[in-house]
Structure 1
Amino acid sequence: MADNDFKALLAPPEARWFVLAGFVGRLQMSMLGIATILLVTSATGSYGLAGAVGATILISQAFAAPRIGRLGDRLGQGRVLRPVLLLHAVGLAGIMGGVATGQHWLLFPSAVLAGLAFPPLGPMVRSRWAARVGGTPLLKAAFAIESAIDEVIYIVGPVIATTVAVAVSPSVGYVAGMVLTLAGGLSFAAMRRTEPAPMPVARTGPSLLRIPALRVTLLFALVLGVVLGSSEIAMVGFAADLGATALAGPLVGALSVGSLLTGLWYGSRRWRSSLSQRFLAFAACLAAGLIPLTLVTGAPLMALASFVAGAALAPTLIVVYEMVESLVPGERSSEGFAWVQSALVIGLAAGVQLAGQVADALDGHHAFRVTAAAGAVALVTVVLATRLTRRVRPAAEALR
């Protein structure tokens, strides 16, 4: 039974420990966006400025993540992660200092540093799985585990961020995310036994972006990032319009619950259809599932619509990671998965900025139109992506 794959993967204690450390260290990735919105708007009242600061973090992260991943492949993950984590904490402290002192010019250079030094723990965890079970049926289940963990992160993280921000202060919510990243990231870096072996310098090869199918798959991931970023800030605006900002976390969490359940369902099945067929099917489901967000009113119906919208997210992302694993040489998996993260965060930056401007000009509910439009574009993109991912191994072998 495919369900036993999950047990087999997590049976070794060292696997459980690096998964747990990766979970704790990645919690902030779901907290940082909404925590930034709450922190900046509490001091300025501007969703546009909050969106611009968040977008700066994301764009900087997108630029740096593949390079950090490449360094991790070459030098070892632990050796690279420690200085990265320190610089990331300095950047976050600068953002808090800029808000506390009213020196808003400080927000953007601090956001650049926080983004450039954002630890790519998600790609590094997946790289460890690829090194352990790459090329076997267990890899799909491993990616399903990580997708499910990501969804748990996006369920728990926004609730933690909004609850702490409302009950204590937005600054304390920011500090909470920083502490979690440092604790999980440093623990993960210390687990050297499960690291993939460093790649010899002679095997670095040309840029992975020379693979046409990878470029188009990353384009899809970028548009998917617009979906995620715009929906997050739209949820905050929608909750604020209702006079209940604390509802933003649960509403974002409802989307992640839907994604979590379908991600586990996807990983527990033995699929006979091809990756391309599944990619197209889930992209179509996602595009259709986003439409109700633009139509419903009231918190209960929005929570239901958010759950439905999230149902196609995890399977689609798992397929994306499966494709990338097939497209890139195994010893460069951290870099390859980091390119997915970069594409996602570029899309997140665009989505946050676009939806923030719409929320400022109109209201939070209208911002969901950005989300639905991005879903339609993603469906068009995946048609092109599936045509270029039929012969994936030859492209990867050309870079070896």
Structure 2
Amino acid sequence: MRHAALALDTGTQGLLYIVGPLLVATLASSYSPAVALAVTAALGLAGTAAVALAPPSRRWRPERFEGQDANQAHQLAIPAVLLLFVSLTGIGFAIGAMNVWSIALAEHHHQDMLSGIIPATFSTGSFVGGLIYGRRTWSSTTTRRLIISTAAFLAGWLPLLTRPGSRPPPRLPCPVRS
């Protein structure tokens, strides 16, 4: 049940990260950034209320285990967990930079929708990758899977070395009016 719940959670988050940027870019382009902010704030509040007021959320209480507090701090100091935290920090930096880059690219090319399409495309790849990863039966160790996943993540960024968007858009000849 835990594996299914985590897969459902990851999948729904992936869908939100696909639909969300597209919704914001569409609303901001069609109406205004203020409308996009108001709609997303209302949707965020509605989603939070739905989860917080759901019967499972109201019934849930944390389990307490004897000696739990002292043991948790020690578990976070395991070298593999520290390596995971460092890796995730780097991944978070890359994702955050990509979001800022997509806005700059949209402004540079005067295409507001790029600020939503680029993160949504990134999230679509993440969603599909999560589906593939979750459906596959793994015979390798967790460390090997982490290394393979990290290598695939890094390889996905290689096309950016071509520096798309670094060249100004071509100028079209302007007809001369008399």
Shorter-chain TM-score bucket reads 0.7 to 0.9
Which residue in 2 is equivalent to 1:285? 152
Classify 1:168/1:201 alpha carbon distance in 2 versus 1 (closer, same or farther; 3 Å).
farther
Which residue in 1 is equivalent to 2:53? 190
Classify 1:201/1:279 alpha carbon distance in 2 versus 1 (closer, same or farther; 3 Å).
closer
- SS of equivalent to 2:70: coil
Please report how far the alpha carbon of residue 262 of structure 1 lies from its aligned counterpart in structure 2 after TM superposition: 1.8
The question of whether the paired residues in 2 share the 8 Å contact of 1:155 and 1:254 is answered with yes
The question of whether the paired residues in 1 share the 8 Å contact of 2:105 and 2:114 is answered with no
Q: Structure 2 CA distance, aligned partners of 1:189 and 1:272?
A: 38
Which residue in 2 is equivalent to 1:229? 96
Partner AA of 1:161 in structure 2: V
The question of whether the paired residues in 2 share the 8 Å contact of 1:236 and 1:248 is answered with yes
Residue 12 (structure 2) pairs with residue 149 (structure 1): yes
- SS of equivalent to 2:129: helix
Q: Structure 1 CA distance, aligned partners of 2:161 and 2:123?
A: 18
Moved more, 244-253 or 231-240: 244-253
Cα deviation code 1:333-384 (max 9, x no counterpart): xxxxxxxxxxxxxxxxxxxxxxxxxxxxxxxx59xxxxxxxxxxxxxxxxxx
Normalising by structure 1, we get a TM-score of 0.38
Residue 121 (structure 2) pairs with residue 254 (structure 1): yes
Q: Structure 2 CA distance, aligned partners of 1:179 and 1:148?
A: 22
Which residue in 2 is equivalent to 1:174? 37
Identical aligned pairs, as a percentage? 26
Please report how far the alpha carbon of residue 280 of structure 1 lies from its aligned counterpart in structure 2 after TM superposition: 0.4
Please report how far the alpha carbon of residue 196 of structure 1 lies from its aligned counterpart in structure 2 after TM superposition: 4.2
Please report how far the alpha carbon of residue 189 of structure 1 lies from its aligned counterpart in structure 2 after TM superposition: 1.1
Residue 28 (structure 2) pairs with residue 161 (structure 1): no
- SS of equivalent to 1:206: helix
Partner AA of 1:237 in structure 2: A
Q: Structure 1 CA distance, aligned partners of 2:67 and 2:38?
A: 40
Q: Give the CA RMSD over aligned residues.
A: 2.4
Please report how far the alpha carbon of residue 289 of structure 1 lies from its aligned counterpart in structure 2 after TM superposition: 1.4
Please report how far the alpha carbon of residue 207 of structure 1 lies from its aligned counterpart in structure 2 after TM superposition: 7.5
Aligned equivalent of 2:134, options 262, 267, 281: 267
Classify 1:244/1:281 alpha carbon distance in 2 versus 1 (closer, same or farther; 3 Å).
same
- SS of equivalent to 2:36: helix
Q: Structure 1 CA distance, aligned partners of 2:160 and 2:114?
A: 16
The question of whether the paired residues in 1 share the 8 Å contact of 2:22 and 2:117 is answered with yes
Cα deviation code 1:69-119 (max 9, x no counterpart): xxxxxxxxxxxxxxxxxxxxxxxxxxxxxxxxxxxxxxxxxxxxxxxxxxx
Q: Structure 1 CA distance, aligned partners of 2:85 and 2:113?
A: 34
Cα deviation code 1:33-82 (max 9, x no counterpart): xxxxxxxxxxxxxxxxxxxxxxxxxxxxxxxxxxxxxxxxxxxxxxxxxx
Please report how far the alpha carbon of residue 203 of structure 1 lies from its aligned counterpart in structure 2 after TM superposition: 5.7
Partner AA of 1:278 in structure 2: R
Which residue in 2 is equivalent to 1:125? none
Q: Which has the higher helix share?
A: 1
Partner AA of 2:56 in structure 1: R
Q: Structure 1 CA distance, aligned partners of 2:89 and 2:31?
A: 35
- SS of equivalent to 2:18: helix
Q: Structure 2 CA distance, aligned partners of 1:182 and 1:150?
A: 16
Partner AA of 1:286 in structure 2: F
Classify 1:278/1:201 alpha carbon distance in 2 versus 1 (closer, same or farther; 3 Å).
closer
Which residue in 2 is equivalent to 1:62? none
Aligned residues: 163
Q: Structure 1 CA distance, aligned partners of 2:116 and 2:50?
A: 27
Task: Find the structure with the greater CA-based Rg.
Answer: 2
Partner AA of 1:205 in structure 2: D
Partner AA of 1:185 in structure 2: T
Q: Structure 1 CA distance, aligned partners of 2:66 and 2:54?
A: 26
Please report how far the alpha carbon of residue 296 of structure 1 lies from its aligned counterpart in structure 2 after TM superposition: 5.1
The question of whether the paired residues in 1 share the 8 Å contact of 2:106 and 2:113 is answered with yes
Normalising by structure 2, we get a TM-score of 0.79
Q: Structure 1 CA distance, aligned partners of 2:154 and 2:13?
A: 21
Give the unaligned 5+ runs of structure 2.
168-178
Task: Give the number of the structure with larger relative contact order, counting CA–CA contacts within 8 Å between residues 6 or more apart.
Answer: 2
Classify 1:253/1:201 alpha carbon distance in 2 versus 1 (closer, same or farther; 3 Å).
same
Residue 143 (structure 2) pairs with residue 276 (structure 1): yes
- Map of 1:1-400 to 2, 5 A cutoff? 133-134=1-2, 139=3, 141-193=4-56, 196-200=60-64, 205-206=69-70, 208-210=72-74, 211=76, 212=78, 213-295=80-162, 297=164, 365=166
Partner AA of 2:104 in structure 1: G
